[in-house]
Amino acid sequence: MATDYSLYLVTDSTPAILGDKDLPSVVEAALQGGVTIVQYRDKSSDTADLIRMGERLHAITKKHNVPLLINDHVGVAQAIGAEGVHLGQDDMDLQTARRILGPEAIIGVSASNVFEAIEAASGGANYLGIGTLYATPTKENTKSIIGTAGLRDILQFISKPYHKLPTVAIGGLNDSNIQRVIFQSKSPNKGLDGIAVVSAIIAAADPEDAAAALRRLIDNVPPTLSPKANENQKVETLLSQIPSIVKKLVQANPLCHNMTNLVVQNFAANVALSIGASPIMANYGEEAKDLARLGGALVINMGTVTPEGLLNYTSAMRAYNEVGGPILFDPVGAGATEVRRRAVKTLMSNGYFNVIKGNENEILTVLGESTGQQKGVDSGASTSEEAEKVRLVKTLAARERNVVLMTGKTDYLSDGDRTYTIQNGHAYLGRITGSGCTLGTTIAAFLAVHKEDRLLAALAGILMFEIAAEQAAARDDVKGPGTFVPAFLDQLYHISADASEDNSGWLKAAK
């Protein structure tokens, strides 16, 4: 049977990491949580102690049908009949270890660059441990911190000759970054086969819970790109699918979970109801665990961010990322204050957003290219030319491997691969509060029901929203922003209600 490297536990017996817990119990709990392979790593014990502990750990891993590897000590592996060893660059050479342990043993080798990777691969290693990915207190004096860029280089390099060689990444990996590492490191034809951790499980108060959470994140990594991206390039192809997506939304009545600002809670709930979604305005992060299981989508709108709110956002993000539930990020007023700029950084490093939606200033801030201080939370004057705007959304989407929507008179939508402009909407949307925020709510509802192509889901949302605005503004009873709001809800409702009758006439207005 092929070895499962997906959640690879490396042990550590130092008090700083293990604390006063008992290592065999921690390993047992981790296996219960979903660890698939264990490496016993102990840099200080003598051979007799290594053998004693190795035997205890082996009894546990065998019970769970999981291989046990020994770090560095080939003799210990041989003595206890472990399934293999893991060798660092300064340990025994691969050929000697192979001679001692035989052809069936699993021998893994650490690699931090292309040269080491090729050497290990051509020497017959069974897998590569690639790192150090991020700086980690668990292993000081690591050779080099390679990040996802270094990891991608190695994967790319071995993807042709050693396409099948399993790889795991190690170093500073935990529940906030493993999904990102898995899908951002993917090079053509070669991704990671597993994530190796020490402290994320060994130092956790509850190692079983910690392992189970990592397990869920690994099992729910968002797709790198839409599987449908290639066939969904042409505008006509995209538009032709929108009526059925609107219909799907109405039939599914998806939960649309909004963590949004004080100003727009009521309006956002009304918009969600009008389009046929089921809103819940829940700002307490702890609730997200239960809500994420209901198959809906989450909007994180930081319009009135507070320190407590930020903690709530991050725990909700975690909950949705764990089950692969879509999240739309609305970085309201991102560049306006230092607090908001930091909040953006915190959120972006805490997990994965499927869609980021903002005006030009906000997108610039998220990208890290904002120069001046933004005035308020309104959109501000436009500064750059069309090509520059296309570059912005494309760059951010490619970097984050998600979908970016930059709103303005013209809207720019990109998944890094495909980029489109949308000319719909009406000036009244700029004269009422919460139009941007409720666009986020609308798109999130579409993300919940159409996971095959996130860009298309976002396009469906923005077209329904902006065309409804045009319809409302054109009504005789609409005299200005005040009368526009109820008419807008009506038109959203009409598009939604007509969807079941297969009426897609409204889409003719798409520009």
Binding-site ranges for ligand 3NM (CB under 6 A):
10, 41, 110, 129, 131-132, 136, 138-139, 142, 170-173, 197-200
Cβ-based nearer residue to Mg ion, 87 or 355: 87
What is the DSSP secondary structure assignment for residue 187, as one 8-state letter?
B
Task: Indicate the residue among 110 and 261 with the shorter CB distance to ligand 3NM.
Answer: 110
Q: How far apart are CA 57 and CA 54, in angstroms?
A: 5
Per the CB < 8 A criterion, the answer to whether 172 and 196 are in contact is no
Applying CB under 5 A, does 470 fall inside the site for Mg ion? no
Work out whether 55 is an interface residue with Mg ion (CB under 5 A).
Answer: no
Rounded to whole angstroms, how far apart are CA atoms 477 and 485? 12
**Beta-sheet strand order (sheet of 419-422):** 278-281, 255-259, 297-301, 327-330, 355-359, 403-407, 411-414, 419-422
Closest separation in Å from C-beta 181 to ligand 3NM = 12
Q: Which is nearer to ligand 3NM, 16 or 235 (CB)?
A: 16
Cβ closest to Mg ion, residue 90 vs residue 476 = 90
Angle (CA) 448-454-456 rounded to 5° is 105
Residues 503, 464 contacting (CB under 8 angstroms): no
Using rule CB under 5 A, residue 72 touches Mg ion: yes
Q: What is the DSSP letter of 286?
A: G
Residue 98 main-chain phi, psi, to 5 deg: -65, -40
> 91 is in the binding site of which of ligand 3NM, Mg ion, none (Cβ under 5 to 8 A by kind)?
Mg ion
What is the separation of C-alpha 20 from the centre of its chain, rounded to a whole number of angstroms? Answer: 33
Other beta carbons less than 10 A from residue 37's beta carbon: 27
Q: What is the DSSP secondary-structure string of 56-120?
A: HHHHHHHHTT--EEEES-HHHHHHHT-SEEEE-TTSS-HHHHHHHH-TTSEEEEEESSHHHHHHH
**Which H or E run contains 495?**
helix 481-499
The partner in contact with residue 216, picked from ligand 3NM, Mg ion, none with C-beta cut-offs of 5 to 8 angstroms by kind, is: none
437 in active site: yes
Closest approach of ligand 3NM to the CB of residue 128, in Å? 10
Min dist CB 372 to ligand 3NM, Å, is 38
Write the binding mask 86 to 105 for Mg ion: x where contact by CB under 5 A, - elsewhere: --x--x--------------
The single-letter code of the amino acid at 372 is G
- Catalytic residue, chosen from 218, 367, 405, 437, is 437
Residue 490 interacting with Mg ion (CB under 5 A): no
Q: Quick one: which segment of 83-91, 161-169, 189-197, 238-246 binds Mg ion (CB under 5 A)?
A: 83-91
By C-beta, is 139 or 418 nearer to ligand 3NM?
A: 139
Q: Which helix (H) or strand (E) holds 301?
A: strand 297-301
Minimum distance of ligand 3NM from residue 200's CB (angstroms): 6
Q: Least separation, in Å, of the C-beta of 322 and ligand 3NM?
A: 19
Q: Three-state SS for 389?
A: helix
242 binds, options Mg ion, ligand 3NM, none, Cβ within 5 to 8 A by partner type: none
What is the chain's alpha carbon radius of gyration, rounded to the nearest angstrom? 26
Cβ nearer to ligand 3NM, comparing 120 with 292:
120
CA distance 179 to 397: 16
Task: Residue 72: name its binding partner from ligand 3NM, Mg ion, none (Cβ under 5 to 8 Å by kind).
Answer: Mg ion
Least Cβ distance, residue 48 to Mg ion (angstroms): 20
Report the residue number, 24 or 88, with the smaller CB distance to Mg ion: 88
479-482 contacts, C-beta under 8 A, 24 or more apart: 480/428, 480/431, 481/428, 481/431, 481/432
For residue 142, the minimal CB distance to ligand 3NM (Å) is: 5
Chain residues in the site for Mg ion (CB under 5 A): 72, 88, 91
So which residues are the catalytic ones?
437
